[in-house]
Amino acid sequence: MIKNPKTKEELLKELATLQLENQSLKAKYEQDIAERIWAEETLGASEIRYRRLFESAKDGILILDAETGKIVDVNTFLIELLGYTKEQFIEKEIWEIGFFKDIIMNKEKFLELQQKGYVRYEDLPLETDSGKKISVEFVSNVYLVNKTKVIQCNIRDITERKRVEDEKKLTNEKLMTLNGEKDKFFSIIAHDLRSPFQSFLNLTKMLAEDAKSFSSEDLSELGSNMNKSATNLFTLLQNLFEWANMQKGSINFQPAELSLSELISANVELVNQRSRQKGTQVINKAANPVYVYADKNMVNSVLSNLLWNAVKFTNKNGTIAVNAKKNDNKLIEISVKDTGVGISKCVIDNLFKVGGNTGSKGTDGELSTGLGLLLCKEFVEKNGGKIWVESEEGVGSTFYFTLPEKDGAFPQSICL
């Protein structure tokens, strides 16, 4: 038996209340559904944007699980840059990937990355699948994604940038060398060139002002001294001219097969007159036919400089010997040996350096600036050879240089 039954009006009122509650719940449910759909669509759009950015990035990107160090994602740029497939990356621990061994050598390094949350390498060498060497900038960060730690590694190819930087560095080094050469020229022009000119002018002045007072012996001596001064000046000016043209690239390099023995004989004949005047003897031990593949004018300049230097620094009754022989590297080794004053070790160390203070006077007061030896070094190396000296003070010196055989190509280590 129902006690106190509700009236019709009360039931209708209660029904209306329930209908309102139902409508409110339905509206809230529909709103929740709409918000969920919006959230899913927004998340989907965000993921699409992320994926597009990830795949279109012009840097390589690796995503790692921060706990295990396993690679979970890699973008197209890095795949193309290093030449590996995506399968070679995914689910591999980073220290298993060969080209990253220099970055993270072991798990201890990885733990250090986990703790610091950041690591950066300004210039890191990597090797592609084809063996090509490249330079990269490597940056990694640790961050949270859905409460899970991940590591993102950004890898930027800086090979071209590094090449430009290396070129700039090389250019700066060349500029420094040019400045050294400029200083060398100024030194020669300001001192070494002025000094012989002054001597020559004084001799001509003596002749012009008081020629009648000189005996035939005096005139002969003056003529000899003037000839020495003129020879010194000519040699110096010739070396200056060739050196300047070498630095400007104005000298044509025309290697060809040539008779080294004939060049040696011709140069020995040229210095013989001066050698006899000083009472020294030049011995040609390279009379047998020897052929090389080199630029004739450059080789001629080297032989001329070395022979004149030997005569210049050898005392009376001394000897100078020229020889040529084949060594084991398909190169012809030429030597100019004298019994002269020799060279101290500190001077030897600077003989073939621009700006080195190596100038000295010969045994008969002949001028020497050291420029001729710099020229010899340039010409010998241009022809694929090397030049060096062995010497002892008071005993003498031997200058050596090498040239390719007539049928031998330039050594691969020499770039022309």
Pick the most confident of 61-70, 164-173, 237-246.
164-173
Q: Residue 143 has what pLDDT?
A: 82
Q: For 359-392, what is each residue's pLDDT tens digit?
A: 566 566 565 666 788 888 988 999 999 999 999 8
Q: How confident is the model at residue 247 (pLDDT cuts 50, 70, 90)?
A: low
Pick the most confident of 3-7, 12-16, 98-102.
12-16
Output the six-digit token pair for 270. 């040229």
For residues 171 and 166, give the distance between their C-alpha atoms in angstroms, rounded to a whole number. 8
Please tell me which residue, 210 or 366, carries the higher pLDDT value.
210
Q: How confident is the model at residue 100 (pLDDT cuts 50, 70, 90)?
A: low
Mean pLDDT score across all residues of the chain: 79
- Range with lowest mean pLDDT among 29-43, 197-211, 226-240, 327-341: 29-43
Q: Which domains does the chain have, with CATH numbers?
A: 57-157 (3.30.450.20), 252-416 (3.30.565.10)
For residues 236 and 362, give the distance between their C-alpha atoms in angstroms, rounded to a whole number. 14
- Range with lowest mean pLDDT among 203-207, 211-215, 363-367: 363-367
For residues 340 and 393, give the distance between their C-alpha atoms in angstroms, rounded to a whole number. 9
Mean per-residue pLDDT, 86-101:
73
Q: Residue 124 has what pLDDT?
A: 79
For residues 214 and 70, give the distance between their C-alpha atoms in angstroms, rounded to a whole number. 100
For residues 355 and 359, give the distance between their C-alpha atoms in angstroms, rounded to a whole number. 10
Q: Residue 410 has what pLDDT?
A: 45
Q: How confident is the model at residue 254 (pLDDT cuts 50, 70, 90)?
A: confident
Q: Is the pLDDT of residue 31 over 60?
A: yes
Sequence-separated (6 or more) residues with CB below 8 Å from residue 410: 383, 384, 404, 416
Q: Is the pLDDT of residue 18 over 80?
A: no
Q: Residue 146 has what pLDDT?
A: 76
For residues 290 and 312, give the distance between their C-alpha atoms in angstroms, rounded to a whole number. 27
Q: Is the pLDDT of residue 283 over 80?
A: yes
- Range with lowest mean pLDDT among 138-142, 232-236, 255-259: 232-236
Q: For 34-73, what is each residue's pLDDT tens digit?
A: 667 666 555 555 566 656 676 777 888 888 888 888 888 8
Q: For 309-368, what is each residue's pLDDT tens digit?
A: 899 899 888 999 999 998 878 899 999 999 998 888 888 887 877 655 555 665 665 656
Pick the most confident of 8-12, 241-245, 389-393.
389-393
Please tell me which residue, 332 or 15, carries the higher pLDDT value.
332
Of 93, 97, 95, the residue nearest 83 (C-alpha): 97
Element (H, E) at 315: none
Q: How confident is the model at residue 270 (pLDDT cuts 50, 70, 90)?
A: confident
Can you give the pTM of this predicted structure? 0.52
